[in-house]
Amino acid sequence: MDKIATSLTKNTKEPAKTSSVRIVVAGPRGKMGSEAIQMINNQKEFTLVGCVDHKESVDTDKDVPVFTDLHACLQSTKPDVFIDLTIPEVGYKHTRIALELGVRPVVGTTGFTDEQLKEITNIAEKNGIGCIIAPNFALGAVLMMKFSKIAAKYYSDVEIIEKHHDQKVDAPSGTAIKTSELIRENLAAKPHPSVKETESIEGARGGNDNGVHIHSMRLPGLVAHQEVVFGGEGETLTIKHDSIHRSSFMQGIKLSIEKVLNLQTCVYGLENIIDIDH
């Protein structure tokens, strides 16, 4: 996947002059959405002004309107930031609509194609407003991806194991795909050719992303977990991250809301908005 990101040192402008950031959330009844609403309500600098859902009745702990149509919601509530925590098909449409109406999206929905990301970036830059799309909002997961990219300079063999709850519809996860992309940027060499393998059960070796095997697990009781395992002569290196509660994603969403106000392009990946090089 091509990296769609721009440094914060360019294509920026002054943040909106407002005492409180007005926010709309799509997907408020989901587990991530309900956590996001709780986080927004607990921040003095944020104000929840509306929600978008396929049902008009959502418990938000605040007296805010719920819309089934995004156009109507954004035009009525006039938010600064739109947070999408839905599914890829809906999230892509929502992101385009928000950008076209001048609202800055923060998107936690994964599964966008390269073409969709490029199109979103073009719309954001044409309208001169920011957009952040993050496969994973947990800061620990971002560090796991960054550390894996660094380790790839010294190893040529690596596999990824990602584990999620049984309600997750896409596989592999956006985090695994992004991790593989970052690893392949730095991989010391192409993975060693394996012996001629046979699978008595198709898919037993996982998916092959240009030489990086990705294995997906879906089970009740899990939230979001990933291991990146490097193999070398006489050793292995495992870099692991576990989100044991969805509250782990809220710090990244909060940071994204603050950062997106200063952007005029689309940034893909939370590692591009936090300083983790020093």
Closest CA to 49 of 27, 17, 82, 18: 82
Closest CA to 87 of 26, 35, 5: 26
Regarding beta strands 207-209 and 212-218, do their DSSP bridges make them parallel or antiparallel, or are they unpaired? Answer: antiparallel
Per DSSP, 71 falls in state: H
Catalytic residue among 31, 78, 118, 168: 168
Whether the upstream peptide bond of residue 172 has omega within 30° of 0, thus cis, is yes
> Alpha-carbon distance 87 to 168, whole Å?
10
The two most distant CA atoms of the chain are separated, in Å, by 63
Residue 168 among the catalytic residues: yes
Closest CA to 110 of 144, 137, 133: 133
Catalytic residue among 94, 163, 164, 225: 164
Q: Is 213 helix (H, G, I), strand (E, B) or coil?
A: strand
Closest CA to 25 of 79, 61, 72: 79
For the annotated catalytic residues, the residue numbers are 164, 168
